[in-house]
Amino acid sequence: MKTFLPAVASLGLALALPFTLQAQDTAPPVVAAEESAHAQLVAVMSPDALHEASFANTVSELRRFYMENPDFVLLDKECPGLIDNIFEKSEDEMREYHWAEANAIRSLMLDLVTEYLTEEQASEGAALYGTPLGQKVIIAAGQNQNLQNTMESAVENKGGEVDRTAFDRDQRATTSKVLRTLTRAEIEEFGRRAMGSKFLPAFQRLNPLIQQRKFELLNSDRLSAYETRMQAAMQDAMNSHIEACN
């Protein structure tokens, strides 16, 4: 991904925060009983609710990034409403890209957990994260993701690539933001539920590889067709607004 950066980073945080949650009720996703344990695990660790939260946060962070960019600040001053118009007119293409990326991450997750986790470990993980409390753990990362370093890295690099240092820095920042939302009682409650789990140690060993694969996806051209449509929609929105303004 070269422009619509944050969904990968946010999902990475969701997987890297096994003992965090947010104080709000979240209904567990519907998982078909006939699905394999590995598919059920991916379904509860990458639910639609996570990606909806991630999309909303991504748009908010991108809008803020534009509002802090001197060039766009000047353009918006000369032609009021420019930034709002860009996001309004390109939302469908942004959402299309976001969900294509989310499904690509689900696919790579399924491949990895199937290869590296046993059925028993996957079943334990699906049971743990499939509860309302478990979903709070997952969705907290999407709602509290930090994207500043990722976006700055993409802008600084001529090809739009993100460097791994920026990717990791945003993950650590998001972890800190999520932890600040928690009470000790909430952390202890989830810890009690996870105690003795065979899943968590196995997943923690696997997680660095998941992060690496997601980072590779972030800088790949796998979703270039979606990216092209999104960029064109944003450019058209900017051009039409400036033309109308003049």
What are 81-100's pLDDT values in tens digits? 999 999 999 999 999 999 99
The pLDDT of 136-157, averaged and rounded, is: 87
* 178 confidence band (pLDDT: 50, 70, 90): confident
Query: Which residue did the predictor score with more confidence, 215 or 9?
Result: 215
C-alpha to C-alpha distance for 198 and 187, rounded to whole angstroms? 19
Which amino acid, 206? L
Q: Under a CB-based contact definition with an 8 Å cutoff, are residues 194 and 18 in contact?
A: yes
* 29 confidence band (pLDDT: 50, 70, 90): low
Its pTM surpasses 0.85: no
Q: Under a CB-based contact definition with an 8 Å cutoff, are residues 82 and 72 in contact?
A: yes
Indicate the average pLDDT of the chain: 84
The yes-or-no verdict on residue 154 having pLDDT over 50 is: yes
* 140 confidence band (pLDDT: 50, 70, 90): confident
Q: Under a CB-based contact definition with an 8 Å cutoff, are residues 44 and 28 in contact?
A: yes
CA triple 13-15-18, angle to 5 deg? 100
pLDDT in tens, 32-66: 546 899 999 999 999 999 999 999 999 999 999 88
pLDDT of res. 8: 25
- Residue entry with tokens 């290869």: 115
Q: Under a CB-based contact definition with an 8 Å cutoff, are residues 29 and 47 in contact?
A: yes
Q: Which of 53, 72, 54 is nearest to 9 (CA)?
A: 54
Which amino acid, 200? L
pLDDT of res. 34: 62
The yes-or-no verdict on residue 26 having pLDDT over 70 is: no
Which amino acid, 37? A
C-alpha to C-alpha distance for 16 and 9, rounded to whole angstroms? 11
C-alpha to C-alpha distance for 226 and 230, rounded to whole angstroms? 6
Residue 219 sits at φ, ψ, to 5 deg, of -105, 10
pLDDT of res. 246: 77
pLDDT of res. 16: 37
The yes-or-no verdict on residue 25 having pLDDT over 80 is: no
Q: Under a CB-based contact definition with an 8 Å cutoff, are residues 45 and 139 in contact?
A: no
The pLDDT of 161-170, averaged and rounded, is: 94
